[in-house]
Amino acid sequence: MNKTKSFPKDFLWGGAIAANQAEGAYLEDGKGLSTADLMPYGLMKGIQENSTDLNLYHEAVDFYHHYKEDIAMFAEMGFKVFRTSIAWSRIFPKGDELIPNEKGLEFYDNLFDELLTYGIEPIVTISHFETPWHLVKENGGWKNRKTIDHYIRYCETIFTRYKDKVKYWIGFNEINNIHTIPTAGGGILIEENENRLQAIYQASHHMFVASALATKLCQEIITDAKMGAMLSLSGVYPNTCHPDDVFETYELRRRSLFFSDVLLRGTYPSYINRIWDKHGVQVKMEGNDLELIKKHTADYLGFSYYRSTTHKAGTPILGHTGGITGTPNPFLESTSWGWQIDSKGLRYVCNELYDRYQKPLFIIENGMGTNDEIVNGEINDDYRIDYIKVHLKEMKEAIDDGVELMGYTYWGPIDIVSAGTGELKKRYGFIYVDRDNEGKGTFKRLKKKSFNWYKKVIETNGADL
Ligand code: BGP
């Protein structure tokens, strides 16, 4: 008789958003410009500094002024945790100041207090696809080793300020995405004729040192703090069983796992040397960098899982997955955005990661973005319920496989601006927001069918899916 598959009783159910995709108020109360504020077509399309086109990140869904109402609904669903990010440029508008912006600090004090009044634990991403624009434009962002100092001053400020309110932290969102979206993912601009991978791996090294220093600082300032590494780790399969497809896909996967290898194992893996040699990369390291990285590894691995893609040998890739470089998987359905739905792949990835690191995992992003329609005043998003249901079932299997899974924060419990496209019509939420791609709407919130379904999932700890 199979023992009933169940989630641990202390499983951390919740939802996840990011400051730049939800808050709006992009220049309010002293906030400085961030890289996201200059990307009207989404974070994949890079900086458009002088564009006058509508940038939906500027007002997003106005979480800055609606957070109390939204948190009340997250509490109604029974959230145990809620992940969001602090906008670095709210705290240090240019990034290199010595004194923080008090109004920025106050906002997050109020936000975390609101969560805690409902017994919801905040999970805070320190840098989620946005860096103060001044640091990037004037100082080269993470290419410049000085950015470590600015980031650590920012960390010391928020750890000290929120030490009694926040114990779950994440250093960088999807740090491996510096490959595919270097400006959003790594706060760097790749110049004309610059060696792209030299820039990416040098910046990554600075981010690794900053992560180690931040982990050390966090544990010194906040008792029982948990500092997580976080990567984008949807699945990637060989396009065919041809050994070339298989091996090149393995290399591609490892180019992502390189980041978690360094952050969780604490050393640069030997396979990276061949990649660096091949691309003329020479990473400058200083003093006790490697000792810091070795000593202060992350406590857990958070990752985003949405889909799986395929890779065909010989297909040029910009980054770690580079999207679907092979043919679409004929065994999988796709969302209206062409993301292939692969719940079994989540079980695979959970096992892959737990076998590799033997550290707790946290599914910190998973969700379905699609074009929800209001029909007769209702939004019947059965497709979203089905998407989540099949993924939760595979998570239970992974737990039964022996994987230590800390929790699940559904990506976008409320509609927010897409990172990939800068649009609002790609909706993820259990809560609909009346605002469209043209920036029109009342910001009114409306529960979708999935709202009460997810509430029941949490109430029953995922028992009857
Ligand atoms: C991840 C990001 C999130 C979120 C998600 C969904 O890479 O960490 O910020 O945006 O992708 O992607 P999109 O918003 O493009 O649908």
On whether residue 339 sits in a domain, the answer given is: yes
Q: Are strands 361-365 and 300-304 parallel, antiparallel or unpaired?
A: parallel
Query: Atom 3 in ligand 1: which residue has the minimum CA distance?
Result: 419
Q: Ligand 1 mean position to 286 CA, how many Å? A: 34
Q: What's the pLDDT tens digit per position in 264-274?
A: 999 999 999 99
Task: List the catalytic residues.
Answer: 365
pLDDT at 1 over 80: no
pLDDT at 168 over 60: yes
On whether residue 286 sits in a domain, the answer given is: no
How far is the C-alpha of 452 from the C-alpha of 386, rounded, in Å? 14
What is the domain range of residue 331? 12-150+162-192+220-260+299-459
Q: Hey, which of 411, 415, 423, 428 would you mutate to test ligand 1's pocket, going by the most ligand atoms within 8 Å of its Cβ?
A: 411
Q: 366: Cβ below 6 Å to ligand 1?
A: no
Closest-lying ligand 1 atom to the alpha carbon of residue 418: 14
Q: What's the pLDDT tens digit per position in 24-46?
A: 999 999 999 999 999 999 988 88
Q: 426: Cβ below 6 Å to ligand 1?
A: yes
On whether residue 244 sits in a domain, the answer given is: yes
Is 173:230 a contact under the CB 8 Å cutoff? yes
Count of beta carbons in the 10 Å neighbourhood of residue 445 = 17
On whether residue 56 sits in a domain, the answer given is: yes
Chain-wide mean pLDDT for the chain?
Answer: 95
Q: What's the pLDDT tens digit per position in 172-182?
A: 999 999 998 99
On whether residue 282 sits in a domain, the answer given is: no
On whether residue 69 sits in a domain, the answer given is: yes
How far is the C-alpha of 183 from the C-alpha of 46, rounded, in Å? 7
In the prediction, which pLDDT does 3 show? Answer: 57
Closest-lying ligand 1 atom to the alpha carbon of residue 42: 15
In the prediction, which pLDDT does 318 show? Answer: 59
On whether residue 171 sits in a domain, the answer given is: yes
Q: Is 15 helix (H, G, I), strand (E, B) or coil?
A: strand
How far is the C-alpha of 464 from the C-alpha of 461, rounded, in Å? 9
On whether residue 437 sits in a domain, the answer given is: yes
How far is the C-alpha of 230 from the C-alpha of 197, rounded, in Å? 21
- Confidence class for position 5, pLDDT limits 50, 70, 90: confident
Q: Ligand 1 mean position to 447 CA, how many Å? A: 21
Count structural domains, the chain. Answer: 1
In the prediction, which pLDDT does 465 show? Answer: 86
Q: Hey, which of 232, 365, 384, 409 would you mutate to test ligand 1's pocket, going by the most ligand atoms within 8 Å of its Cβ?
A: 365
Q: Which carries the bigger pLDDT value, residue 346 or residue 316?
A: 346
- CATH code for the domain in which residue 449 is found: 3.20.20.80
Q: 89: Cβ below 6 Å to ligand 1?
A: no
How far is the C-alpha of 403 from the C-alpha of 57, rounded, in Å? 37
Q: 261: Cβ below 6 Å to ligand 1?
A: no
pLDDT at 223 over 90: no
Mean pLDDT of all residues in 6-14: 96
Query: Atom 10 in ligand 1: which residue has the minimum CA distance?
Result: 419
Lowest average pLDDT, out of 322-326, 394-398, 436-440, goes to 322-326
